[in-house]
Amino acid sequence: MITTATFIAPAASSATQRFDILPLSAPLGAEVVGLDLAKPLSRDDFARIHRAHLDHHVLVFRDQRITPEQQVEFSRRFGPLQIHVLHQFALAGYPEVLIVSNVMENGKPIGLGDAGHFWHSDLSYKEKPSLGSLLHAQELPAEGGDTLFANMHLAWDTLPAHLRSAVEGRRAEHTYLARYAELQARSPWRPNLTAEQIAQVKPVVHPVVRTHPETGRKALFVSEHFTTRIVDLPEDESRALLDALFAHSVLEEHCYRHEWREHDLVFWDNRSLMHLAAGTPDHLRRKLYRTTIEGDTPF
């Protein structure tokens, strides 16, 4: 097993909690029931959560009445946190917390309202993409607002032989700006970027098939949102191959659809998955807080 995780273990004196980890009837995911993240986690409890995250790729923590500070503290145990380039949507006093919301106040958006409009892995456009993201429900709509997750290990495991041979050893370009203008034209959620912000999101190149740094498993690592081309292929071949990979990755048998409940905290592995926001009716309010953990350079 490959393992490079660098997290901060809780103090040994923390009391052990009684909780269950229940696999979902889906190609990924598990529900964590009975754990209170507002309380300090013992070293053993934290180790169980870490192992479950690697095994199931998505963990759903039910009924977490935690503060932003507690979310940041728990997230940081897995590694340093990343600050989103749209820093204007950070929660006041907590630069590590991105507000994901369609709410408008005084005619202005309070958060990123179209986050997850296309399938993607968070921050794949960075030299060190995200290890994982945590999203905590603050205000949920009466309908809509689901999040879909696709298992990219399973997508690789089931990839047809001709596509496997076409992508092995290939590298692809990722850029935050790939579809930014398209999103900006259709909604009020995307502000004009400053020169400093654009400099933070220069295009990067990563393997099309990455190896998970902790488990050694292979996964497809391309997305319709951020991946623009496969390096060293003619444009038409690159486009056709990427389209085939995107279509295969999100087959129904690879996916889990999360229907949010009040106070859910969902923690997913960006090295293993892609995700998509299913959308919320414009007249219904939705607000969540996201923290993002820095990962390793993909290989």
107: Cα within 13 Å, side-chain hemisphere: 0
Side chain identity at residue 257, one-letter code: R
Of the candidates 114, 122, 269, 296, the residue annotated as catalytic is: 122
Name the helix (H) or strand (E) containing 70.
helix 68-76
From the list 136, 275, 286, 296, the catalytic residue is 275
Identify which of 222, 296, 260, 210 has the alpha carbon closest to the alpha carbon of residue 58.
260
H helix or E strand, kind and range, residue 46: helix 43-56
What would the DSSP string read from start to end of 133-162? EEEEEEE--SS---EEEEEHHHHHHT--HH
Secondary structure in 3-state letters for 155-187: HHHCCCHHHHHHHCCCEEEECHHHHHHHHHHHC
Could you give the CA distance from residue 290 to residue 136 in angstroms, rounded to a whole number? 6
Q: Tokens 């997913």 identify what position?
A: 268
84 is catalytic: no
Structure tokens belonging to residue 185: 């034209």
**SS3 state of residue 49:** helix
30-33 and 58-61 beta bridge pairing: parallel
Judge whether 275 counts as a catalytic residue.
yes
Please pick, among 53, 84, 120, 225, the residue that the annotation labels catalytic: 120
Please confirm, yes or no, whether 122 is among the known catalytic residues. Answer: yes
User: For residue 81, what is the DSSP state?
Assistant: B
CA distances from 220 to 56, 157, 169, 250, 271 (A): 17, 9, 12, 11, 9
Annotated catalytic residues are 120, 122, 275, 290
